[in-house]
Amino acid sequence: MAKPRVIYWFRTDLRLHDSPALKAALDLHPEAFWPIWTWDPHYVYRARVGPNRWQFLLDSQRDLSESLTKLNQKSKLFLIRESPQTLLPKLFKAWKVTHLVFEKDTDAYARDRDAEIMRAAKAAGVEVVIRSGRTLWDSDLLVEQHHGKATMSISQVQAAGPKVGAIPRPLAAPTKIPDPGEMPLEFEQDVPEQAPDLNAQAREHGDRSYAQLAGPHGDFAVPSMEELGFTATSLHRGGETIARKLLDDVIANEEYTALFEKPKTAPTDFEPQATTLLSPHLHFGTLSVREFYWRVQDVVDNYRGKGKASQPPVSLTGQLLFRDMYFGAQAALGHAFGQTMYNSHCRFIPWHLPSKVDHERKQVTGEYHIDSDEAHVWFQRWKWGRTGFPWIDALMRQLRQEGWIHHLGRHAVACFLTRGGCYVSWERGAEVFEEWLIDHETACNAGNWQWLSCTAFFAQFYRCYSPVAFPQKWDKDGVFVRRYVPELAALDSKYIYEPWKAPIQDQRKAGVRISGAGEKEEEGVYPKPMFDFAERRAICLDGMKKAYHVGLYGDDPKVVDGSWRQL
Ligand code: FAD
């Protein structure tokens, strides 16, 4: 029998350690082994990816590529610049591939893409090997053990997970990898017969010359930020090497790891931040979640006798369970999980600025009557950190510059945009996060926005974050605000969260003028607050009460056809 010729397709798993899929590929003992990354047009053109996340991705690819070369001088991460839907069927033929191996991805888009690839592989006689490795438990099996339903609380995950099985101990990284085979890239120009249902967009990107496919130098290299024309501003950098070092640092601090309680970590801390900042590494798979879990678990076990370690939901393990919960919900609900419409678990709220889809549809049908102009301005001011509330603005500027903010900071800005201030749809906020977060994870982002907007997972809408009292609890002098809103750097601490209250002589002393509506950036000027927060909170609370009373969900025909207006 011919020896296996294996393409290992890296996607959500840019690492060598603890990768069940990579192990499965190497266990085939291939005669030819190609570690590849394909340039997915969905990522490049469709998803909202800001420069900071690009930088993190390229860092991670470069680090992985170097590690692969250390295992075999002839190998590296081969970057091929074409859509996987069109590229892989051609590679199957041209490279005489026998196996395609990858880590399972339960994101809604990824499932559609992978189904297409699997059909093409079947037609080409290529065996597909898939292993779960992105979550503690395989998300589909987790859902199965939760009676086929979306996991909506971590107690449900704690009940269903062990029925899937014990979380395996991490696997060691490989110590060698086989040579790649030849890599011809001159294909017949036709879209291959094996994949007749390629989508139109993939087809457009289908036929490329050799030079385009292998990059400008023909060497399958990871592109640079300069080549892509992007400039990043974040200091948070990617790669398995950095991820493992960060985890080692966390684990070395036994007390921090064993006693970690999320609600007690300060959202105003920076350099260093109060939580682990491992989320972007989990997103790109430069850190295995099982490695994270077991390293923490071992610390907790060793801590017995020294004190009482923290427990889920507040402990570090609890945070990883939340992650699995959102992945489970997404695995069960598919595309609908990322939106309100058709989402059976997402409560419908008639936001003053609805989601883009809802907004456009209602404008076209003429059934949309709310004047959303004001809310639209608030949304823009929120996005660009010019609300006139320094706590909110500091967080949004940190997000834009660095691509990461603390969990409670995310709580504050998400609550403010939705049910606790602007009454703007959570879907608008989730889009901004999608663009700017370096750890953007479709499941976690949509799920947490639903939580914060009280449309799913959490229902206590009367519990709101004040943009003044909440940060004061952590940072009386506003050190965090001074860092990210430098206009206010010299303002007296008693006005730092309410600068509009500062008398004119205090403003002068601090070299700032509190004036205008923040339309344009002007040196030494910080805007007035865009609304009276107490007034807006009361309006939002009233709106939420009514919406809860009516009790519509995203899958309700009244929501979908718009007849909720007549209720
Ligand atoms: P730590 O507190 O050190 O936690 C360790 C790990 O647990 C994190 O790295 C993360 O993978 C996981 N985790 C922690 N909290 C959560 C949570 N609430 N939900 C899911 N996983 C969690 N997290 C993302 O990874 N991607 C997102 O796109 C994302 N969007 C969010 C949007 C909003 C509105 C909110 C409120 C939260 C969002 N989160 C998201 C969850 C959470 O804020 C981040 O995971 C966390 O702040 C990352 O920092 P850390 O690595 O220091 O977390």
SS3 assignment for 222-252? CCCHHHHCCCCCCCCCCCHHHHHHHHHHHHH
DSSP-based three-state secondary structure for 65: helix
pLDDT-based confidence at 199, cuts 50/70/90? very low
Averaged pLDDT, 222-234: 93
Q: 363 and 449 share a domain?
A: yes
Range of 287's domain? 241-334
From 319, 330, 435, mutation site for ligand 1 pocket: most ligand atoms within 8 A of C-beta: 319
Instruction: Kindly indicate the confidence band of residue 216, based on its pLDDT and cuts at 50, 70 and 90.
Output: confident
Annotated binding-site members for FAD:
275-279
First CA to last CA across the chain, in angstroms?
A: 69
pLDDT at 560: 81
Contact (Cβ atoms closer than 8 angstroms) between residue 346 and residue 459 = no
- Residue 532 resides in a domain: no
Any domain includes 297: yes
pLDDT at 192: 42
Whether 204 maps to a domain, the answer reads: no
35 and 122 both lie in a single domain: yes
Q: Compute the distance from residue 407 Cα to the ligand 1 centre, in Å.
A: 6
Please tell me which residue, 179 or 193, carries the higher pLDDT value: 179
Are 320 and 416 in a shared domain?
no
What does each C-alpha distance from 369 to 142, 360, 396 come to in angstroms?
43, 12, 30
Output the pLDDT for position 187: 75
Calpha distance 33→98 (Å, rounded)? 11
With a 6 Å cutoff on the Cβ, whether 448 touches ligand 1 is yes
Q: Do 416 and 443 belong to one domain?
A: yes
Picking from 278, 302, 334, the residue at the C-terminal end of a domain is 334
Q: Are residues 362 and 444 in the same domain?
A: yes
CATH number at residue 435: 1.10.579.10
Say if 86 falls within a structural domain.
yes
Q: Are residues 321 and 288 in the same domain?
A: yes
Of 1 and 36, more confident: 36
Peptide bond into 313 cis (omega under 30): yes
Domain membership flag for residue 166: no
Same domain, 126 and 25: yes
**What's the rounded Cα separation, in Å, for the pair 340 and 125?**
40
Q: How confident is the model at residue 367 (pLDDT cuts 50, 70, 90)?
A: very low
DSSP 470-493: HHHHH-TT-HHHHHH-GGGTTS-G
| Contact yes or no for 276/295 (Cβ under 8 A) | no
Same domain (yes/no): 77, 24 = yes
* Ligand 1 mean position, distance from CA 560 (Å): 31
Whether the predicted pLDDT of 431 surpasses 90: yes
pLDDT at 368 over 70: no
Report how many domains make up the chain: 3
Instruction: Tell me which of 134, 154, 175 is where a domain ends.
Output: 134
What's the whole-number mean pLDDT along residues 150-155? 98
Same domain? 327 vs 354: no
Q: Is 220 part of any domain?
A: no
The last residue of one of the domains, among 400, 433, 461, is 461
The ipTM is: 1.00
Same domain, 1 and 120: yes
324 C-alpha to center of ligand 1: Å?
Answer: 11
Nearest CA to ligand 1 atom 47: 407
Whether residues 252 and 369 share a domain: the answer is no
Identify residue 483 by its one-letter amino acid code. R
CATH number of the domain within which 254 lies = 1.25.40.80
Q: Hey, whose CA ends up nearest to atom 11 of ligand 1?
A: 279
Helical segments of 238-315, H only: 240-252, 254-259, 279-284, 289-303
Confidence of residue 194 (pLDDT cuts 50, 70, 90): very low
Tell me what the mean pLDDT of segment 91-97 comes to.
96
Q: Establish if 189 belongs to a structural domain.
A: no
Instruction: Give burial (CB, 10 Å; 0-12/13-18/19+) of 525.
Output: middle
Residue 371 confidence (pLDDT): 52
Q: Report the pLDDT value the prediction gives residue 530, as an integer from 0 to 100.
A: 96
**Quick one: CA dihedral 369, 374, 378, 381, positive or negative?**
positive
Please work out whether the CB of residue 440 comes within 6 Å of at least one atom of ligand 1: yes
Please check whether residues 438 and 376 belong to one and the same domain.
yes
Q: Is 322 in the pocket of ligand 1 (CB under 6 A)?
A: yes
Instruction: Name the pairing type of β-strands 99-103 and 78-80.
Output: unpaired
Return the residue matching tokens 């292998």: 214
Q: Ligand 1 centroid vs 483 CA: distance in angstroms? A: 23
Average pLDDT of every residue of the chain: 92
Residue 85, Cβ neighbours under 10 Å: how many?
Answer: 27
Q: How far apart are CA 132 and CA 486, in angstroms?
A: 45
Between CA 132 and CA 247, with CA 285 as vertex, the angle to 5 degrees is 120
Band of the pLDDT at 393, cuts 50, 70, 90?
Answer: very high
pLDDT more than 70, % of the chain: 92
Q: Residue 193's pLDDT band (boundaries 50, 70, 90)?
A: very low
Report which DSSP code applies to 501.
G
CATH code assigned at 101: 3.40.50.620
Q: Compute the distance between CA of residue 465 and CA of residue 447 in angstroms, rounded to an integer.
A: 19
**Structural domain contains residue 254:** yes
